[in-house]
Amino acid sequence: MTVSPGATLAAIRERKPLVHQITNYVVMNETANATLALGALPVMAHAREEVEEMVALAGALVINIGTLSPHWVDAMLAAGRAANAKGIPVVVDPVGAGATSYRTETAKRLLGEVDVTVLRGNPGEVGTLVGADAEVRGVESISVGGEPAELAREAAKALGVVASVTGPVDHVSDGETVLAVANGHELLAAVTGTGCMSTAITGCFLAAKPDAPLEAAAEALAAFGVAGEDAAAGARGPGSFHAALYDALYGLDPATLDERARVS
Amino acid sequence: MTVSPGATLAAIRERKPLVHQITNYVVMNETANATLALGALPVMAHAREEVEEMVALAGALVINIGTLSPHWVDAMLAAGRAANAKGIPVVVDPVGAGATSYRTETAKRLLGEVDVTVLRGNPGEVGTLVGADAEVRGVESISVGGEPAELAREAAKALGVVASVTGPVDHVSDGETVLAVANGHELLAAVTGTGCMSTAITGCFLAAKPDAPLEAAAEALAAFGVAGEDAAAGARGPGSFHAALYDALYGLDPATLDERARVS
Amino acid sequence: MTVSPGATLAAIRERKPLVHQITNYVVMNETANATLALGALPVMAHAREEVEEMVALAGALVINIGTLSPHWVDAMLAAGRAANAKGIPVVVDPVGAGATSYRTETAKRLLGEVDVTVLRGNPGEVGTLVGADAEVRGVESISVGGEPAELAREAAKALGVVASVTGPVDHVSDGETVLAVANGHELLAAVTGTGCMSTAITGCFLAAKPDAPLEAAAEALAAFGVAGEDAAAGARGPGSFHAALYDALYGLDPATLDERARVS
């Protein structure tokens, strides 16, 4: 299996997979718009009454714990189990794990009770979940011991997932191989929810390439990073950058994406 | 009663009606901003504890089932009945009806227990509610049997509402007359929540013209479509289009709107 | 203590305080982005299960009642008490107080059970809470008897808070001194949530200057108003203004802010 974000992007635009997202209140509009701009179809549904039926229509399930409460956790677990039963890939974003025990415990429950395909988080969040010496303040990764490439590899092994650890350089690992992705722009850190968007886009790529989650996760981050680079070109700050980010996702060119992707 | 989006828009801007919206988490900010940019006043309130009191202050009630849960359904029904008791027009947007039985059943309950003035949906959603052969994936209309003009007429008759069925050309019917609205732009489909915005704007027009819901609903779609055309003029993609859409709603000129509206 | 929005802004950017926000669904993304663009770190968390732990990490707590429900009220009260116990400043935004009794009563409960540092609202909301002859329609202040400077002074005295009453000119008082802030732009009223953003930014300034809430609250409004003036420069309407507002907050220059601030 090769890494080709361009080919997978072309497949997303052709098939338009439905990506079911159970995500936080802060970024719902943003991750839906990023999904749509990329070329997939988002659907947000969080009621226990409908998540199992909804996820059965989807090509991937995205679970994001950014604004938790007990009813939402129940629905996340139910949707995750239903996705597993149908063989639908599941991405989990453990937003703020390490900041409060409720978030840490919920992320651990999800990893324990659902077969998670890709775990996408920052170093502090992922470090927390593998017992590393990590500090998370709110939803920001403050510090984590060790090298990020090693953290990705260890998390993948320990948790039985593809670990996708984002930062200035992203590292994606299945426990053996580590792919480093060096695309992106610093303005991504000045807009809330760009991490959550990268998780949603990981869901889109997984839906189009479910049999190669390592490659799909790395491709997603490369594509999102290239869009960030394009959006930064004319931006005057985080507001104009944010609007331009959807333009850039919409305008991503499958024909040139592979050569612009900095995956190693 | 004549169709004059310009005259109704002028009335909205003069009277600034309050439009009470019980809508989904994904688009709350967007429909509030669209309402405000047009010239009306939005208020979002969903607690059972206050919806009846809030709706009594409003010129129209907008109910949108995009992200449902049981407490919200209770509040929607209570607000709808309170609006009925006061003679306040009610718009319902059955987002995702047909995708899950929870959405389909909730839309049917609303139509059964509340006297709905306008039902605004896509062909798949409206088709589902009249028992047509419709397919809805997530919140997208995939297919529906028959002609959209006939679907609008049949839905209006069967459900006792003004049916406002949007698509490349929109069709609005009271069961007898069918008005077709041919304004809009394809970028509207690349931004999440534009359907929900058209529903909110339908609420604004109804608040200003409560005695002519057929005309008000068609005028709303024409005004929103013209704004979409203006927004597309300088847009580089869905992000810049989205920002420009509020500029365009704010800049809509009542004096030229009637001649730009393509209602037949 | 002197009024220097530039010095406090520089402190915010250096220390990057965490600002815990329990706010409404409509504006969560917007207040998070405003916080981040200014230079502080936002975190949104509303579950009873985690608010006390989360607020303990924060430099300020922002409570906004824009879309209430009972579970949220419980969490607001618990977070407020936990903030009090730790000496963390608390800002309350009584969105829509006066429109429904649920909102009015909840605002009063917060003021009664939590030691509120700054109350930031419009004249109708603040007037309602001190028993003035005020009218609120939805979340808009329609009218209030008396002068706004006097209203701020009286509210501060009666409620034991710093009262921050925003309008064409803002008035901030601790019950003795009244500071008037004359920055801003009329387009701020055409975008939903700008009042909520000013509350969030008040939280940022309080986190950096907790011992001088009168000055911090006035500085926050001056900084936000200057950003509004900058954003309006190239705006074509509320959509482009909204995007430019984050650019302007990000670009605020501590070195020139004091001379641009119109505080008297």
Give tens-digit pLDDT for B78-92: 999 999 999 999 999
> Which residues on B lie below 8 Å from C235 (Cβ)?
247
Q: What is the CATH number of the domain that holds B108?
A: 3.40.1190.20
DSSP codes joined into one string, A78-146: HHHHHHHHHT--EEEE-TTBTTBHHHHHHHHHHHHHS--SEEEE-HHHHHHHTT-SEEEETTEEEEESS
Interface contact flag, A193 C29, Cβ < 8 Å: yes
Name the maximum alpha-carbon separation found in chain A.
47
List, in order, residues 6 or more apart from A249 with CB less than 8 Å away: A34, A37, A38, A201, A224, A227, B237
Name the maximum alpha-carbon separation found in chain B.
47
Interface contact flag, C49 A69, Cβ < 8 Å: yes
- State yes or no: pLDDT of B244 exceeds 80: yes
Is B262 inside a domain boundary?
Answer: no
Task: Tell me the pLDDT of chain C (264 aa) as tens digits.
Answer: 699 999 999 999 999 999 999 999 999 999 999 999 999 999 999 999 999 999 999 999 999 999 999 999 999 999 999 999 999 999 999 999 999 999 999 999 999 999 999 999 999 999 999 998 888 888 888 878 788 999 999 999 999 999 999 999 999 999 999 999 999 999 999 999 999 999 999 999 999 999 999 999 999 999 999 999 999 998 999 999 999 999 999 999 999 999 999 999
Angle of helix B213-232 versus helix B5-15 axis, rounded to 10: 90
* B238: nearest CB among A53, A71, A250: A250
pLDDT of amino acid A198? 98
Is B263 inside a domain boundary?
Answer: no
pLDDT of amino acid B142? 81
Interface contact flag, A29 B26, Cβ < 8 Å: yes
d(CA B26, CA C29): 11
Residues of B with CB under 8 A from a CB of C: 18, 20, 25, 28-29, 32-33, 36-37, 41-47, 49-50, 53-54, 57-58, 71, 242-251
pLDDT of amino acid C189? 95
Is C263 inside a domain boundary?
Answer: no
Predicted ipTM of the assembly: 0.95
- β strands within chain B, DSSP E: 18-22, 41-44, 60-64, 90-93, 118-121, 134-137, 140-144, 162-165, 170-173, 178-181
Of the candidates B190, B27, B121, B148, the one whose C-alpha atom is nearest the C-alpha of residue A16 is B190
* A30: nearest CB among C18, C29, C45: C29
- State yes or no: pLDDT of B45 exceeds 80: yes
d(CA C116, CA C126): 14
Nearest-CA residue of chain B relative to A58?
B138
Q: What is the pTM of this model?
A: 0.96
* C67: nearest CB among B18, B36, B44: B44
Residues paired with C170 in a beta bridge:
C181
Instruction: Looking at B130-212, list the stretches that DSSP marks H as alpha helix, in order from N- to C-terminal side.
Output: 148-159, 194-208
* C29: nearest CB among B20, B29, B243: B29
Is B65 inside a domain boundary?
Answer: yes
d(CA C133, CA C130): 9
**pLDDT of C200-219, one tens digit each?**
999 999 999 999 999 999 99
Residues paired with C63 in a beta bridge:
C22, C92
pLDDT of amino acid B144? 82
Domain limits at C35?
5-255
Is C31 inside a domain boundary?
Answer: yes
Please, are residues A44 and B26 in contact by the beta-carbon 8 Å criterion?
yes
Of the candidates A89, A80, A24, A36, the one whose C-alpha atom is nearest the C-alpha of residue B139 is A36
- State yes or no: pLDDT of B238 exceeds 80: yes
Is C218 inside a domain boundary?
Answer: yes
Counting Cα atoms < 13 Å in the Cβ hemisphere of A191 gives: 30
- Least confident residue range of A113-122, A125-134, B151-160, C21-30: A125-134
Is A264 inside a domain boundary?
Answer: no
Residues of C with CB under 8 A from a CB of B: 24-27, 29-30, 66-70, 96, 99-103, 137-140, 190-193, 235-240, 242-243
> Which residues on A lie below 8 Å from C53 (Cβ)?
99-102
> Which residues on A lie below 8 Å from C29 (Cβ)?
26-27, 29-30, 192-193
d(CA B167, CA A15): 21
Count of structural domains, chain B = 1
Instruction: Indicate which of C23, C25, C188 best probes the interface with B, i.e. most B CBs within 10 Å of its own CB.
Output: C25
Is C261 inside a domain boundary?
Answer: no
pLDDT of amino acid C129? 96
- How far off is chain C from A25, nearest CA to CA, in Å? 7
Please, are residues A106 and A79 in contact by the beta-carbon 8 Å criterion?
no
